[in-house]
Amino acid sequence: MSDPASGILVVTGTGTGVGKTVVTAAIAALARAGGRRVAVVKPAQTGVRDGDPANSDVPDIDTVIRLSGVTDTHELARFPDPLSPEAAARVSGLPPLDVRAAADYVAKLAVERDLVLVEGAGGLLVRYDEAGATLADLAAALDARMLVVAAAGLGTLNHTALTCEALAARGLACAGVVVGSWPRSPGLAERENLADLPVAAGVPLAGVLPEGAGGLSREDFLRVAREGLDPGLGGVRRAA
């Protein structure tokens, strides 16, 4: 498999809230520190209400910029309600993301970048339009590798196995699994999952980032990213 830290890498998750944005920021931070030309793309952002910060999530792109220092960022569509991109577009009366156009946009970016990171919304098969286009379809159109971000605790083995099976069924290459938020006080399930995740997924465990990493300073975040991600993603972690 080619170097996951080069070309186009699409970051998905086993669900929402598993740490996709922090993992995306970590890979971006390491690429930037290594002198690579890196861009980050968020095809569709939901749950952000412009001009209403009290009832709005922080855009994922803003978190990536704050943590990584990468400013070559691109948000292609934004919807105010915290729903799937297709549902959020529908209830807001806005046009959904054009997945084919998004693929073309990312491909053009990749011509002049060493690495383009594409962060999805929710899980792999969340719908982006009424025809049912998903992040998997975007990755297929780009012939891009995917990285799966997973939770640490109970249920993650099943969710991760289902996601990776869906990738394999579509002929999509997976660069590995990263645990997006490792608890400060892991229990038995979390500790055992470190060994079981690559077995369930059928791909390597490519990193583990600690809980709270998204609240660190940029300098401390870079250190945590380097220690938590494997060399294939720009870090120095070595799997046990």
pLDDT digits (tens, 9 = 90+) for 18-75: 999 999 999 999 999 999 999 999 999 999 987 666 666 899 999 999 999 999 999 9
- What pTM was estimated for this model as a whole? 0.95
Count of the separate structural domains present in the chain:
1
Q: Encode pLDDT of 2-12 as tens digits.
A: 465 569 999 99
Q: Tell me which residue of 103, 119, 108, 113 sits closest to 26, measured CA to CA.
A: 119
Query: Tell me, what CATH number does 215's domain have?
Result: 3.40.50.300
Active-site position among 20, 42, 113, 127? 42
Q: Mean of the pLDDT values across residues 111-139?
A: 97
Q: Which amino acid is at 223?
A: R
Q: Residue 1 has what pLDDT?
A: 39
Contact between 85 and 96 under an 8 Å Cβ cutoff? The reply is yes
Residues 6+ apart with CB under 8 A from 236: 226, 227
Over 60: is that where the pLDDT of 182 sits? yes
Q: Please, which pLDDT band fits residue 157 given cuts at 50, 70 and 90?
A: very high
Q: Mean of the pLDDT values across residues 183-190?
A: 97
Contact between 7 and 116 under an 8 Å Cβ cutoff? The reply is yes
Domain boundaries, position 88: 7-142+171-181+196-233
Residue 166 lies in a domain: no
Residue 207 lies in a domain: yes
Residue whose tokens read 């870079």: 222
Over 70: is that where the pLDDT of 109 sits? yes
Order the strands of the 115-123 sheet from edge to edge: 73-75, 38-42, 115-123, 7-13, 145-150, 174-182, 205-210
> Is residue 20 flagged as an active site residue?
no
